[in-house]
């Protein structure tokens, strides 16, 4: 049986670990050639080797995606080697929570540089390639913090909201040329970091997890499965969406709830 991403050429930024790594492994299993990108060169080498050892195809390319010239070189690398590019997946991102009044202008700019500007650099570099091909998918890992307000995540939330809309604009502007642009919005993830942080909170991880309608925290593989599906040809008509992969957390009504009767 032909693999769903057979021979697709995909760049996944921030794929040296976490969600990006899981997406890189999944894409390779589905038949794609994955350009593994991260600022951490050791992790790029590790994930690339992991994919190749499992019989997949991967190319290592480490760089800092907040540098537009470096992102252009990343796209050029893929096009030079394979003559095309099918998926530009801007996944690198993240931020430490901080109260807004304590956030400096420089800290704000750094978070926006990684979570918002770098996504545009990928679009800027790959759009001419996609236009020439009359095909291609832009994908980005957004966040629930970009869909609704989350305290202490002003810069991150603003940047993630911006990229959700950036993808919509690209879909509307270039959909007629066979180009797609979508985002994925992960819900609360059961990463090691998240679990150890939750352990310091009242009720711990269990109390937190119990509030997720689907009954558990997300996994990196949950995101990877969605990201792979969106890259298939069958998903052609899915364009300009922000897909929550969050166990129905974003479907919950955000409203004050009445207490028990007196």
Ligand X SMILES: NC(=O)c1ccc[n+]([C@@H]2O[C@H](COP(=O)([O-])OP(=O)(O)OC[C@H]3O[C@@H](n4cnc5c(N)ncnc54)[C@H](O)[C@@H]3O)[C@@H](O)[C@H]2O)c1
User: Is 61 within 8 Å of 36 (Cβ atoms)?
Assistant: yes
Give the C-alpha separation, 167 to 149, whole Å: 20
| Residue 93: CB minimum distance to ligand X, A | 2
| Active-site hit among 27, 108, 121, 156 | 156
Residue 139, both tokens? 């994908």
Of the candidate spans 52-60, 78-86, 90-98, 147-155, the one that interacts with ligand X by CB under 6 A turns out to be 90-98
Q: Does residue 91 bind ligand X (CB under 6 A)?
A: yes
Q: Is 174 a catalytic residue?
A: no
Instruction: Please report where in the chains the tokens 């270039």 appear, as a residue.
Output: 174
Assign 3-class secondary structure to 38-73. Answer: ECCHHHHHHHHHHHHHCCCEEEEEECCCCCHHHHHH
| Residue 188: CB minimum distance to ligand X, A | 6
Cβ proximity to ligand X: between 22 and 179 the closer is: 22
Q: 184: which residues sit within 8 A by CB, 6+ positions away?
A: 139, 140, 141, 142, 223, 226, 227, 230, 242, 243, 244, 245
Q: Does residue 128 bind ligand X (CB under 6 A)?
A: no
Q: Which of residues 7-46 bind ligand X (CB under 6 A)?
A: 13-14, 16-20, 38-40, 43
Q: Does residue 164 bind ligand X (CB under 6 A)?
A: no
Cβ proximity to ligand X: between 114 and 171 the closer is: 114
How many residues comprise the chain?
262
User: Is 198 within 8 Å of 240 (Cβ atoms)?
Assistant: no
User: Is 37 within 8 Å of 44 (Cβ atoms)?
Assistant: yes
Cβ proximity to ligand X: between 66 and 165 the closer is: 66
User: Is 134 within 8 Å of 178 (Cβ atoms)?
Assistant: yes
Q: Does residue 92 bind ligand X (CB under 6 A)?
A: yes
Q: Does residue 114 bind ligand X (CB under 6 A)?
A: yes
Q: Taking CB under 6 A as the rule, which mask of x and - marks residues 190-209 in contact with ligand X?
A: -x--x---------------
Interface with ligand X (CB under 6 A), residue total 25
| Residue 101: CB minimum distance to ligand X, A | 23
Residue 10, both tokens? 């995909």
Cβ proximity to ligand X: between 56 and 218 the closer is: 218
Q: Does residue 182 bind ligand X (CB under 6 A)?
A: no
- Crossing angle for the helix pair 118-133 and 154-174, nearest 10 degrees? 10
Give the residue numbers marked as catalytic: 156
Residues that bind ligand X (CB under 6 A): 13-14, 16-20, 38-40, 43, 64-66, 91-94, 114, 141, 143, 186, 189, 191, 194
């Amino acid at each position: 049986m032909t693999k769903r991403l057979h021979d697709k050429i995909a760049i996944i930024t921030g794929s040296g670990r976490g969600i990006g790594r899981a997406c890189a492994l999944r894409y390779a299993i589905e038949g794609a050639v994955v350009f593994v990108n991260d600022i951490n060169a050791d992790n790029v080498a590790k994930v690339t080797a992991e994919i190749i050892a499992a019989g997949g195809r991967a190319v290592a390319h480490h760089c800092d995606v907040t540098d537009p010239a470096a992102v252009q070189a990343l796209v050029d690398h893929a096009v030079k080697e394979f003559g095309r590019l099918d998926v530009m997946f801007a996944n690198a991102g993240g931020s430490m929570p901080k109260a807004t009044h304590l956030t400096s202008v420089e800290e704000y700019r750094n978070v926006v540089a990684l979570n918002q500007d770098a996504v545009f650099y990928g679009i800027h570099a790959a759009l001419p390639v996609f236009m020439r091909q009359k095909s291609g998918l832009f994908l980005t890992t957004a966040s629930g913090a970009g869909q609704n307000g989350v305290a202490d995540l002003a810069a991150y939330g603003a940047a993630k909201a911006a990229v959700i809309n950036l993808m919509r604009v690209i879909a509307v502007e270039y959909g007629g040329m066979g180009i797609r642009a979508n985002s994925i919005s992960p819900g609360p993830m059961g990463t090691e970091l998240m679990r150890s942080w939750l352990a310091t909170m009242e009720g711990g991880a269990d109390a937190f997890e119990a509030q997720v309608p689907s009954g558990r925290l997300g996994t990196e593989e949950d995101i990877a499965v969605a990201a792979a599906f969106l890259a298939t040809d069958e998903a052609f008509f899915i364009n300009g969406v922000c897909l929550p992969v969050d166990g129905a957390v974003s479907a919950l009504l955000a409203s004050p709830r009445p207490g028990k009767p007196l």
